[in-house]
Amino acid sequence: MTRQIIATGDAPSSVLYSQGVRVGSTIHVSGMVGVDPKTGELAGASIQEQTRQALRNCESILVAGGCSLDDVALVTVLLAHPADFAGMNEAYAAVFHDDPPARAVARLGPELPGILVSIMMTAHVDD
């Protein structure tokens, strides 16, 4: 199968990873943090603000790949501080309120200054 790289200016990027990769009908979105791509700054200091922005960043990549949040099958959330679980859930539930995808939550390994959350997704689209 052909691997298609997905890139958009509407989400943070790096030379170290692809924002998204489509293989067949599956789109893999790299871990996105709560950085606003327009400013290059964190969207805020709270877990809710960073979760909302990380989800917007993931959504931008999905749209660039030809799908939407409705196509997401699996979300992996990495938290810098397990105590932020309730706050993350608050922001997450506003996006995935009906028929949410499968999800895993774990602790973010590296300590990244100011980063509270990283979110990655897998979506499936019909060809």
Mean pLDDT of 93-122: 95
Query: For the segment 18-71, what is each residue's pLDDT rounded down to a tens digit?
Result: 999 999 999 999 999 999 999 999 999 999 999 999 999 999 999 999 999 999
Edge-first strand listing for the sheet containing 72-79: 3-6, 20-23, 26-33, 117-124, 72-79, 102-107
The residue to which tokens 């997704």 are assigned: 121
Strands 3-6 and 72-79: unpaired
pLDDT score at 126 = 82
Query: For the segment 10-20, what is each residue's pLDDT rounded down to a tens digit?
Result: 999 999 999 99
Q: Which of 39, 38, 6 is nearest to 22 (CA)?
A: 6
What's the pTM value of the predicted model, to 2 decimals? Answer: 0.96
CATH number at residue 102: 3.30.1330.40
Domain limits for position 86: 3-124
Domains held by the chain: number:
1
Cα 96 → chain centroid: 13
